[in-house]
Amino acid sequence: MKKPSLRPLLCTVAASALLLPVFIRPVRAAPTFAELSPAPQIPVVAPPKSDRLSGGVHLALRPAPVPAMVYASPQGSDENDGSSAHPFATLPRAQMAVRSLNQDHDVTVSLDDGVYRLDAPLRFTAADGGQNGFKVRYQAAPGAHPVLSGGMRIAGWTLADQGRNIWVADMPKGMDPRQIWVNEKLSRRASVIAPRTAFEFYDWGLKIVDPAWRFLADLPDQNRLEIENLGWFTDRHATIQRIEGDRIIMQQPGWRDNIIGYDTLARPVSPDNARLEFVNSLAFLRNEGEWFADPKAGKIYYKPRKGEDMAKVDVEAPHLEWLMSVSGTYERPVADIDFTGLSFEYTSWLQPSGPNGYASQQSGAYIAGEIPNYPKDPIRDCSWGCPTFEAIRNRWSQQPAAVQVSAAERITFSHDQFTHLGQIGLGIGNNADANASGIGLGASTIDVVRSRFTDLAGGAIMVGGVTPDAHHPSRPEMTVADILISNNLVQNISQDYHEQAAIMVTYAAGAVISHNDVSLAPYDGIDTGWGWGANDPGGSPAYRTANRDYYDQPGNLVYNTPTILHDTVVFANRVHEVKQSFPDGGAIYHLSADPGALIAENYVYDVPGGIALYLDEGSRYVTVRNNVVSHVGIWLNLNSQDNLAPRRTAMDNIAKGNWYNSGLRSGSWTDYLNNQFIDNTEVKGEAWPSAAQAIIARSGIEPEEAAKK
């Protein structure tokens, strides 16, 4: 008779072992990097006899690894061992330590108080994240406020011009930042406002027609002079090549890029309201708090504000263009990293200083490079759109943020500070051209919570890209999804790039923007959506008009499938004192089809003459519910594009149960468009009903303990 096989019995025993009681050593304090060594063999501990299996087989489970600690301090040394007693000095050295631990440990890098001055930006790849289910944390030590800085301190000020009270200090030759901060406050470069009537505009530049401005031709270093124009919704920057008599010859292609499209530098929407400035000459240094850099001489000049003591003043000049990249690949995204209690400070994005300038389109999107089929008379034929402009709409670039996240998942920024930055503070899943890694999009489960964004040259947070792969990803890993922006303070932003929204989401699935406090912004507070309906199923009739011919241009497709934009939530935010420079846009603004979108229980106030809630081109499936609006010009605006009737664009929206005490309502809220206007209430003065008062009280940043419930 054949002997029975033992294999079924052994398989049963192995499976049953998971049910045995596990005996684990008492938990000890987390080891430091220096204390960790190859894991010791865990002895097998026999269970009581009653728990033994027949045959005496017993399998013991190895206890979970204890978390590892790595320590860093500005007073440390990279020759140290990374222990609390002997911390590293730099984050790159701490990164090396993390990579030796994160395969089989949770790792916490504890950063001591002080300034970590970076020689180069930090790059986090997949190797730096948590591996095999573990997590990596970079966090402030208890009570510490570590600063990751891309700046250098400028000291040794001496009086250069007593009559004008201009001071000078040395800086490294060749260094030419676009921003400096004096006593932690952004200072403007020297500039003068010029009347547009003093110039005529051409594709090569400007002609001076007012002799009072002929002095520009006598200025030195003319190829460092810039022109800035603040329009209806754009803030355009272009650099001068040279000035010959009455001809201001501009650098190309930046000038040509800036004079086609909409709200252009040569023909803004409202010339009477546009502001034209000449920037960046020592001759313009007349106002307190302004400065000028001379990179050839290695000098920087400053005219102090009232009360500033130049013997004690703290001046920081950025030498890095960005601070940190968190980016893997689509095949292997970087994952499971938390950044907690850190301050990201001092950058200066330099591209606008070069021949491309900054051909702003809206909210950090811009045109760069040569444009094919450029019109012969761009100012005449392409100042309110044209086929040439529409042909490049899907190839716009995005401003790279100071901190960049792409090809990443499960990344958290918590209790951090983004301040003193020369561009957008935090970019999540933006274009590839906006990421130093060269890989864009592909960000999911990214949390930005309880952080502070203030004193920025650009916007605070920009989520999503603007290319075809942003709205219709060619591979699923490119999708931007599940982004949480909650309980953040955003104020005093977009000081140099005024057209940038404080919080911007272009294309993302399931983004939630909740309980933020947004204020002191020249443009919009919270913007969601992109594309003006052109990329939604069936396209938009607005883009089939003769001056656009958008869909006749190569690569501009009529899609039959929706974009990834859906289920956007803008909830319980407090938005106030925004729209300080631009008539266009809204405190809370929306574009394009967004199934499941909800704008609810926000408190919008003190936007005099501006729009509070704005559903712009192609907005569909948006519910605007139970918001409270106070002291605005227009409380609810729907761009229903009635000029296209009977064709329909913005439709299937609901405005229900909102309260407002000022402002108009605009747009077509009709059955034909299925735009429903239900039970909205105008309130006299501040006599808000109790339900509205409750929403006001709950809006904005929640008490931390309450938010945990």
128-165 pLDDT, tens per residue?
999 999 999 999 999 999 999 999 999 999 999 999 99
Amino acid, single-letter form, for residue 643: N
**Tokens 């609901």 belong to residue:** 654
478-531 pLDDT, tens per residue?
999 999 999 999 999 999 999 999 999 999 999 999 999 999 999 999 999 999
CB atoms inside a 10 Å sphere around CB 127: 14
Nearest to 650 by CA among 611, 600, 599, 616: 616
Q: What is the pTM of this model?
A: 0.91
Instruction: Give the pLDDT confidence score for residue 201 in this predicted structure.
Output: 98
CA distance readout (Å), 271 to 84, 228, 256: 61, 14, 19
439-473 pLDDT, tens per residue?
999 999 999 999 999 999 999 999 999 999 999 99
Question: Average pLDDT over the chain, rounded to whole?
Answer: 92
Q: Is residue 236 classed as helix, strand or coil in its secondary structure? A: strand
How would residue 42 be classed by pLDDT, with cut points 50, 70 and 90? very low
Mean pLDDT on 37-64: 41
Instruction: Give the pLDDT confidence score for residue 706 in this predicted structure.
Output: 60
Task: Specify the higher pLDDT residue, 23 or 389.
Answer: 389
Q: Is residue 495 classed as helix, strand or coil in its secondary structure? A: coil
Percent of residues in the chain assigned helix, strand, coil, to nearest 5: 15, 35, 50
Instruction: Give the pLDDT confidence score for residue 268 in this predicted structure.
Output: 97
The values of phi and psi at residue 399, to 5°, are -65, 130
Nearest to 624 by CA among 666, 657, 576, 668: 657
Mean pLDDT on 622-648: 97
- Within 8 A by CB and 6+ apart from 330, the residues are 407, 439, 442, 475, 477, 478
Enter the DSSP assignment of 384.
S
CA distance readout (Å), 144 to 111, 115, 340, 341: 8, 11, 11, 8
Residue 242 has pLDDT above 90, yes or no: yes
Evaluated on CA atoms 529, 530, 536, 541, the torsion sign reads positive
Instruction: Give the pLDDT confidence score for residue 2 in this predicted structure.
Output: 38
Residue 584 has pLDDT above 90, yes or no: yes
Residue 1 has pLDDT above 80, yes or no: no
**Tokens 């299937």 belong to residue:** 652
Please say whether the beta carbons of 69 and 33 come within 8 A.
Answer: yes
Instruction: Give the pLDDT confidence score for residue 46 in this predicted structure.
Output: 32
Instruction: Give the pLDDT confidence score for residue 65 in this predicted structure.
Output: 76
> What is d(CA 267, CA 50) in angstroms, rounded to the nearest whole number?
89
Please say whether the beta carbons of 431 and 397 come within 8 A.
Answer: yes
**Tokens 């319980």 belong to residue:** 572
Q: Which of 12-26, 255-269, 574-588 has the least mean pLDDT?
A: 12-26
Please say whether the beta carbons of 612 and 632 come within 8 A.
Answer: yes
Residue 433 has pLDDT above 80, yes or no: yes
- Within 8 A by CB and 6+ apart from 696, the residues are 603, 628, 688
Residue 12 has pLDDT above 90, yes or no: no
Amino acid, single-letter form, for residue 83: S
Tell me the percentage of the chain whose pLDDT exceeds 70: 90
Instruction: Give the pLDDT confidence score for residue 289 in this predicted structure.
Output: 97
- Mode of pairing for the β-strands spanning 275-279 and 151-154: unpaired
Residue 414, beta-bridge partner list: 340, 449
Instruction: Give the pLDDT confidence score for residue 623 in this predicted structure.
Output: 98
How would residue 60 be classed by pLDDT, with cut points 50, 70 and 90? low
- Within 8 A by CB and 6+ apart from 217, the residues are 243, 244, 245, 246
How would residue 63 be classed by pLDDT, with cut points 50, 70 and 90? low
Burial of 307 (0-12, 13-18, 19+ CB in 10 A): exposed
Instruction: Give the pLDDT confidence score for residue 133 in this predicted structure.
Output: 95
Please say whether the beta carbons of 444 and 508 come within 8 A.
Answer: no
Task: Specify the higher pLDDT residue, 645 or 9.
Answer: 645
Mean pLDDT on 212-229: 97
Enter the DSSP assignment of 695.
H
Q: Is residue 93 classed as helix, strand or coil in its secondary structure? A: helix
Residue 266 has pLDDT above 70, yes or no: yes
Burial of 356 (0-12, 13-18, 19+ CB in 10 A): buried
Residue 10 has pLDDT above 50, yes or no: no
Amino acid, single-letter form, for residue 638: L
Exposure string (b/e) for 633-670, b if CB count within 10 Å is 16 or more? bbbbbbbbbeeeeeebbbbebbbebbbbbbbebebbbe
How would residue 707 be classed by pLDDT, with cut points 50, 70 and 90? low
Residue 66 has pLDDT above 90, yes or no: no
Task: Specify the higher pLDDT residue, 242 or 28.
Answer: 242
Mean pLDDT on 637-663: 97
Q: Is residue 16 classed as helix, strand or coil in its secondary structure? A: helix
302-329 pLDDT, tens per residue?
999 999 999 999 999 999 999 999 999 9
Structure tokens at 535: 């990329």
Instruction: Give the pLDDT confidence score for residue 547 in this predicted structure.
Output: 83
Mean pLDDT on 211-217: 97
Residue 276 has pLDDT above 60, yes or no: yes
